[in-house]
Amino acid sequence: MNPPGIAIPFVKASACANDFLIIDAMDVDEMQLPADLAGFSRRICDRHQGVGADGVEWLFPARDADVRARLFNADGSEAEISGNGTRCVAAYLCSEKPRENVSIRTGAGVKSCMLTARGENRYEFEIEMGEPQVGDDVVLKLACGEVRGIPVSMGNPHYVVFVNEYAHGWQAQAAEIGRQQNFKQGINVELVIVKDRSNIEARFLERGVGETQSSGTGSCAAAVAAIAAERAESPVRVHAPGGIQTVRWEDQVYLRGPAQLICRGEFFT
């Protein structure tokens, strides 16, 4: 029997069923670190021949934060930030060394994560997500007709559409939105039902992943769009298939929600 290749250690974590693999590059010999992080991320995220995840958070040293996180989506594309992924990284760091605050450098800047609760392998954090950028309504012409949405940047791009219900096959419509030429670098799409002034329901289709059970930055974008459109008031509880997150928009956006460490293992290259 041929021996396995190099074994890369990982930790799997989930934030409202949005799952990530955390690979601490500082624990991997430099000679063993994959040269192609995108290709390796795509393989390990495969749910049939890999471990399975929505993305990989690669951790590296940082001069201005506890750690630098590079996020690769399941398709190997690199993204600026994931709110849920950042929370999973914070949970991992707290499990390695007890602390109350974690600073993480992302592609969208340094994010401060405050630990608000802990129980065994479950954590809750509130993250300073920064100031959002909200654009004017953008009307798109799709195969099914026109759709109107609000572009929001949380350091990564989002397009928020308010709906009365989730139509059968909404994923195809959201995917068509993501392919529009208006969005040169792709877009994360949120379909949002406003339940009342404090509660909204959301569905997510993310760049490089597809449908996800939850999204941290997507929840922020959905809440910000609802507040900007005067459909809701801060704080907003964002209900998704994977769970509930709370978004406050004050001097900046604050995101609160859980993260859970699921398992540890090794992936053979």
If DSSP states are collapsed to H, E and C, what string results for the chain?
CCCCCCEEEEEEEEECCEEEEEEEHHHCCCCCCCCCHHHHHHHHHCCCCCCCCCEEEEEECCCCCCEEEEEEECCCCEECCCHHHHHHHHHHHHHHCCCCEEEEEECCEEEEEEEEEEECCEEEEEEEEECCEECCCEEEEECCEEEEEEEEECCCEEEEEECCCCCCCHHHHHHHHHCCCCCCCCCEEEEEEEEECCEEEEEEEECCCEEECCCHHHHHHHHHHHHHCCCCCCCEEEEECCEEEEEEECCCEEEEEEEEEEEEEEEEC
Write down all domains in the chain, each with its CATH number in brackets: 7-128+257-268 (3.10.310.10), 133-250 (3.10.310.10)
In whole angstroms, what is the distance from residue 4 CA to residue 23 CA? 19
Higher pLDDT, 35 or 85: 85
Distant-in-sequence, close-in-space partners of 219: CB < 8 Å, separation ≥ 6: 83, 202, 238, 240, 245, 247, 255, 257
The b/e string for 46-75 (b: 16+ C-beta within 10 A; e otherwise) is eeeebbebbbbbbbeeeeebbbbbbbbbbe
Please give the pLDDT value at position 1. Answer: 40
Q: Would you tell me how many other CB atoms lie within 10 Å of the CB of residue 182?
A: 12
What is the chain's length? 269
Higher pLDDT, 187 or 185: 187
Residue given tokens 């992943």 in the structure block? 209
Average pLDDT value for residue range 238-262: 98
- Tell me the average pLDDT of the chain: 95
Digit-coded pLDDT (tens) for 119-174:
989 999 999 999 999 999 999 999 888 999 999 999 999 999 999 999 999 999 99
Please give the pLDDT value at position 4. Answer: 61
Average pLDDT value for residue range 66-91: 98
In whole angstroms, what is the distance from residue 88 CA to residue 12 CA? 9
- The two three-digit tokens of residue 17, written as one number: 């069923």
Average pLDDT value for residue range 103-107: 98
Percent over 90 (pLDDT), the chain = 91
Residue given tokens 């989930």 in the structure block? 14
Please give the pLDDT value at position 74. Answer: 98
> How sure is the predictor about 3, in pLDDT bands with cuts at 50, 70 and 90?
very low
